């Protein structure tokens, strides 16, 4: 019986020993020096997916070079089992790695290799092999059910030394939290200087002490790398602790962040006082750090790096309460586009309060946009924020940004967002040619604190679709004159360069001609304000263009050098009562300049002499609109409206061409040719249509007083209070004070523009009633649109501040 028991125990012992020996565990032999551990159930496939990523496959950087050099032999491995790679000494020129996987006879495929060497080594009772393939050497060992490959003999030997293996409960938690179906990475914080430096450049100094370990699961596609995971802390002074007892918040600073930002680092919380208490507790310091009390009225703090400088953005819980905390600390330095820029009497230093979270510095100026208080070291950087906000040129408005943010949680304790090509270029000029980013590439990394853990979500987007996405309207230039403008800026073609120059008049009646880069060619003093459009004409039919316009008493024609053309000005003793009209019946440059004084109409030719054969000399009552030339089909008509309500529809010779038996109650709108009819509106309710046979019809459009229309052959646009109608498609605008809608026709493109002078916003729509990308933008006047510099994009001119001309690209 005793022999039977002994035999049974022996069988049981050896069976258990055998089970223990054959059981494979990926984390039983990880070196204690591990800085990064990368692992997957199918490591070969995961690494292959990495290589298919456009950015990683096309870019070249030092760490990739080191990996490719030291792990080139991987192409000779058959990794059929779960595997992981431990990396140590990553900051050194030659890092240390050890591959851990389940023992498999097909792991190393050496038989077919010619340039190989295999040497069996026994050391300290341990047998392993030294293998050379081409110019690479590594060590291979099998132990129990595990196989190991390393570039370090010592790492192979240390597998049997329990004291040199990683025994860390937080690491195990991180490992167990990973997704077995993903390629996963576990990072040890504080060991890799490269990562620490990256976050320092993001103004976050706490990455080294952020947590003990972070576990990240990767999803990799051709254009994206997405990560999800968590960070595990072991000490109360690590990064999770400041957010204990506070709630994550929706980070909204992107609403005032210029699209061309470099980086944005932000924290969100429900109580800044709680954060301060947590920091004091972690420091074991009962002394409360004094901080600007505006932070008590804040739910989010963001640090935004721009090319122009760095700004601190506070998202206020209640903006008036935040304003009160700043009251009396400074005075208005200037008002820029309706926003006060305050210069502080003493700089505000947020650094003591935020020292463990971000590096902020001191600030001298601030402004308020909606519920955001924005601080900067100079006023010009604040102007950048204001301009881009008013122009909707902010990152929150961009579709490629929204796509990236959709991969993250809606609320954050901490978030880092970078515009990668620009950010990398600003930090390291030498890498810009080796890193192959698409335009509009973004990276975002988000942390959400919860019960001692920080959940991590991140995304790197390098999408060609995002690169091709239109950025919409963007301000290209701003020019300021010495005095306020009294006319709207307009384009004037430069016949020498075939580009567009800019004409505008200031309050001193100086007419300027500027290049589209803002250089002043000349300025000419006029007798009074320009009262008409500025027409570009070619009087001598040689391609050289002139500017034609009327002022109070004169009709002027200037050449592009600012000189008066012979025969001009035409001067009158009494004022012109309507703006100059210019007719070119057959587009053959046989111009007719039409001038009006009360009831009289004067028509002069290119040399400034009266045209013979135009028999309409005077109306029966005062003329209330500038005479208008309309061509319907192959017929020319001249329309002259009188105060009595009479509408004269004349031939070129000034004879009645379309007799009308009724009079009209004219609105302030012009007459237009549309759909082979003459159209305008009554002051209220009706659209008036007149056929070429003189038949009058009315359509009740329920037009309100001060309705505005503009039309051409194919398009009819009208503005009725806040309702804009484009070819029957209606758009509800915000209530405001709008300029008359303007219609611009290009070869295959029709644009409709109008400006709300109350909110100082310019809107541009296409003929499908769709607002163009990037609009509304800031502006205070009517606009002019043309291709000003011969590239593929149109440009738009508009008045900004009282002495400012703005140039936008569409």
Query: What residues pair up with 537 in beta bridges, in sequence order?
Result: 546
Q: Are residues 150 and 242 in the same domain?
A: no
d(CA 803, CA 554): 25
Q: Confidence class of residue 13 from pLDDT cuts 50, 70 and 90?
A: very low
0.95 exceeded by the pTM?
no
Nearest C-alpha neighbor of 38 from the set 78, 71, 72, 77: 71
Helix (H) or strand (E) holding 175: helix 169-176
pLDDT tens for 361-376 read 899 999 999 999 999 9
Residue 434 and residue 386: Cα distance in Å, rounded?
35
Asked whether residue 726 is assigned to any structural domain, the reply reads: yes
Q: In sequence order, what are the beta bridge partners of 478? A: 806
Read off the pLDDT of residues 463-511 as tens digits, 9 standing for 90 and up. Answer: 877 766 656 788 999 999 999 999 999 999 999 999 999 999 999 999 9
Distance CA 85, CA 148 (A): 10
The residue among 138, 167, 196 that closes a domain is 167
213, 208, 206, 207: which is closest to 168 by C-alpha? 213
Least confident of 124-128, 210-214, 689-693: 210-214
Whole-number pLDDT of residue 232: 83
DSSP 737-758: -BPPPEEEE-SS-EEEEEEETT
Lowest mean pLDDT across 94-103, 227-236, 760-769: 227-236
CA–CA dist 159, 28 (Å, integer): 9
Q: Examine the domain organization and report whether 455 and 396 are in the same domain.
A: yes
CB contact at 8 A, 295 and 353: yes
What does the block give as tokens for 157? 């030997």
Q: What is the pLDDT of residue 1?
A: 39
Higher pLDDT, 200 or 248: 248
- Report the domain count for the chain: 3
Range of the domain at 55: 25-167
pLDDT of residue 422: 84
Give the residue with greater pLDDT, 7 vs 43. Answer: 43
Higher pLDDT residue, 318 or 774?
318
* Whether the Cβ atoms of residue 243 and residue 288 lie closer than 8 Å to each other: no
Residue with tokens 């223990």: 20
Closest to 296 (Cα-Cα) out of 378, 369, 373: 373
Q: What is the pLDDT of residues 410-425, one digit of tens each?
A: 999 999 999 988 888 7
Task: Write out pLDDT tens, residues 335-370.
Answer: 999 999 999 999 999 988 887 788 888 999 999 999
Query: Do residues 478 and 452 share a domain?
Result: no
Instruction: Give the 3-state secondary structure of 416-465.
Output: EEEEHHHHHHHHCCCCCCCCCCCCCCEEEEEEEEECCEEEEEEEEECCHH
Residue 320: half-sphere exposure toward Cβ, Cα within 13 Å? 0
Looking at the domain assignment, is residue 455 inside a domain? yes
**Same-domain status, 566 and 658:** yes
pLDDT at 606: 93
CB 559 within 8 A of CB 565: yes
463 and 478: one domain?
no
Q: Is the pLDDT at 738 greater than 80, yes or no?
A: yes
Asked whether the beta carbons of 226 and 219 are under 8 A apart, the reply is yes
CATH number at residue 770: 2.130.10.10
Mean pLDDT across the chain: 89
Domain boundary residue among 147, 167, 187?
167
Residues 685 and 717 in one domain: yes
Q: Give the pair of three-digit tokens for residue 738.
A: 């709008």
Q: Is residue 15 part of a domain?
A: no
Q: Reduced to 3 DSSP states, what percent helix, strand and coil does the chain have, rounded to the nearest 5?
A: 20, 40, 45
Domain presence at residue 182: no
Claim to verify: residue 581 and residue 709 sit in the same structural domain = yes
Specify if 383 maps to a domain: yes
CB atoms within 10 A of CB 564: 13
Task: Give 128's pLDDT tier (boundaries 50, 70, 90).
Answer: very high
Q: Point out the domain boundary residue: 167, 194, 227.
A: 167
Strand pairing class (339-349; 685-690): unpaired
């Amino acid at each position: 019986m005793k022999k039977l028991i002994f035999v049974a125990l022996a069988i049981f012992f050896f069976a258990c020993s055998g089970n223990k020996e054959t059981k494979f565990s990926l984390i039983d032999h990880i070196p204690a020096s591990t800085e990064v551990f990368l692992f997957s159930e199918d490591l070969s496939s995961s690494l292959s997916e990495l290589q298919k990523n456009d950015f990683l496959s096309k870019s070249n950087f030092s760490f990739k070079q080191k990996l490719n050099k030291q792990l080139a032999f991987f192409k000779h491995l058959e990794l059929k089992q779960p595997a992981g790679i431990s990396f140590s000494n990553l900051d050194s020129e030659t890092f240390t790695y050890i591959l851990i996987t389940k023992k498999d006879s097909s792991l190393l495929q050496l038989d077919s290799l010619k340039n190989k060497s295999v040497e069996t080594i026994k050391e300290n009772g341990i047998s392993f092999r030294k293998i050379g393939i081409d110019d690479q050497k590594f060590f291979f060992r099998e132990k129990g059910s595990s196989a190991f490959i390393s570039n370090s003999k010592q790492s192979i030997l240390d597998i049997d030394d329990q004291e040199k293996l990683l025994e860390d409960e937080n690491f195990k938690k991180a490992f167990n939290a990973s997704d077995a179906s993903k390629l996963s990475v576990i990072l040890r914080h504080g060991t890799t200087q490269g990562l620490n430096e990256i976050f320092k450049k993001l103004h976050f100094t706490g990455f080294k002490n952020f947590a003990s370990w972070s576990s990240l699961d990767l999803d990799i596609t051709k254009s994206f790398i997405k990560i999800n995971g968590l960070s595990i802390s072991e000490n109360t002074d690590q990064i999770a602790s400041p957010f204990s007892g506070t709630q994550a918040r929706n980070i909204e600073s992107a609403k005032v962040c210029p699209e061309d930002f470099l980086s944005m680092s932000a924290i969100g919380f429900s109580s800044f006082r709680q954060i301060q208490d947590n920091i004091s507790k972690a420091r074991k310091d009962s002394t409360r750090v004094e901080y600007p009390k505006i932070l008590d009225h804040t739910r989010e703090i963001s640090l935004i790096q721009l090319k122009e400088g760095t700004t601190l953005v506070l998202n206020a819980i209640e903006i008036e309460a935040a304003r009160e905390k700043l009251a009396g600390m400074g005075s208005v330095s200037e008002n820029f586009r309706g926003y006060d820029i305050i210069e502080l009497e003493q700089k505000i230093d947020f650094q003591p309060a935020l020292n463990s979270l971000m590096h902020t510095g001191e600030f001298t100026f601030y402004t308020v946009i909606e519920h955001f208080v924005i601080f900067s070291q100079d006023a010009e950087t604040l102007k950048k924020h204001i301009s881009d906000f008013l122009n909707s040129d902010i990152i929150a408005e961009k579709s490629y940004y929204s796509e990236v943010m959709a991969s993250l949680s809606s609320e954050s304790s901490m978030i880092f967002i970078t515009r990668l090509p620009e950010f990398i270029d600003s930090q390291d000029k030498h890498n810009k040619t080796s890193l192959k980013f698409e335009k509009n590439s973004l990276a975002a990394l988000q942390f959400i604190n919860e019960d001692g853990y920080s959940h991590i979500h991140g995304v790197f987007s390098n999408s060609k679709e995002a690169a091709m996405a239109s950025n919409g309207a963007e301000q290209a230039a701003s020019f300021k004159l010495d005095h306020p403008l009294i006319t709207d800026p307009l384009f004037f073609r430069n016949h020498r360069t075939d580009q567009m120059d800019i004409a505008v008049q200031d309050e001193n009646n100086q007419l300027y001609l500027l290049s589209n880069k803002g250089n002043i060619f000349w300025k000419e003093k006029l007798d009074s304000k320009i009262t008409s459009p500025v027409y570009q004409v070619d009087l001598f039919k040689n391609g050289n263009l002139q500017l034609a316009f009327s002022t109070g008493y004169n009709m002027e024609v200037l050449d592009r050098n600012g000189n008066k053309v012979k025969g001009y000005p035409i001067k009158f003793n009494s004022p012109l009562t309507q703006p100059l009209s210019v007719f070119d019946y057959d587009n053959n440059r046989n111009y007719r300049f039409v001038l009006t004084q009360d009831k009289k109409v004067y028509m002069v030719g290119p040399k400034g002499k009266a045209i013979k054969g135009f028999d309409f000399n005077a109306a029966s009552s005062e003329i209330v609109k500038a005479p208008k030339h309309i061509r319907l089909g192959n017929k020319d008509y001249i329309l002259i409206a009188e105060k009595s309500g009479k509408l004269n529809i004349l031939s070129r010779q000034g004879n009645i061409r379309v007799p009308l038996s009724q009079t009209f109650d004219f609105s302030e709108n012009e007459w237009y040719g549309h759909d082979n009819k003459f159209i305008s509106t009554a002051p209220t309710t009706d659209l008036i249509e007149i056929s070429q046979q003189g038949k009058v019809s009315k359509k009740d459009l329920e037009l309100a007083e001060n309705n505005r229309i503009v039309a051409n052959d194919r398009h009819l646009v009208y503005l009725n209070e806040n309702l804009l109608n484009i070819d029957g498609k209606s758009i509800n605008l915000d209530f405001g004070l709008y300029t008359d809608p303007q219609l611009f026709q290009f070869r295959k493109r029709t644009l409709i523009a109008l400006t709300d002078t109350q909110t100082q916003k310019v809107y541009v729509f296409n003929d499908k009633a769709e607002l163009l990308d990037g609009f509304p933008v800031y502006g205070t006047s009517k606009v002019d649109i043309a291709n000003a510099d011969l590239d593929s994009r149109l440009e738009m001119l508009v008045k900004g501040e009282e002495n400012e001309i703005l140039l936008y690209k569409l």
